[in-house]
Amino acid sequence: QVQLVESGGGSVQAGGSLRLSCAASGNTNSIVRMTWFRQDAGKEREGVASYWFGGDLSAYADSVKGRFTVSQDRGRNTIYIQMSSLKPEDTGMYYCAARGSSSRPWWPSSSYDYWGQGTQVTVSS
């Protein structure tokens, strides 16, 4: 089992920045990929940014490319997402997810085995 705990959410004005953290505990050696998802009221959960530990590679949704950066500290079993130039449409609950498979696309939420409780990000115009 793996436990995930997100932190760092909050309220910010458009154009501002936030940094979210996701700390993993438990059987962390089984984790191959960790991904940030977000979901706003009435919308589907969407993949935002992902980190593949096996290849030291990151991937991003088109909507956040150039604004968000995902990084990791494997020694602390933690990934981060630095969010800059935030827009009101970035508002939502941000979830961290982890899985042990690297063979599937990173964006389907159904492919993840473990989820955190989420942290709220609100961007005002």
Q: What are the tens digits of pLDDT across the range 79-93?
A: 999 999 999 999 999
What gap in Å lies between CA 3 and CA 9, rounded to an integer?
Answer: 18
Q: What is the pLDDT of residues 101-111, one digit of tens each?
A: 877 899 999 99
Model confidence at 74: pLDDT above 90: no
Q: Is 96 exposed, middle or buried (0-12, 13-18, 19+ CB in 10 A)?
A: buried
**Summary mean pLDDT of the chain:** 95
Cβ contacts of 114 within 8 Å, gap of 6 or more: 1, 2, 3, 4, 97, 98, 99
Per-residue model confidence (pLDDT) at position 24: 96
Per-residue model confidence (pLDDT) at position 116: 98
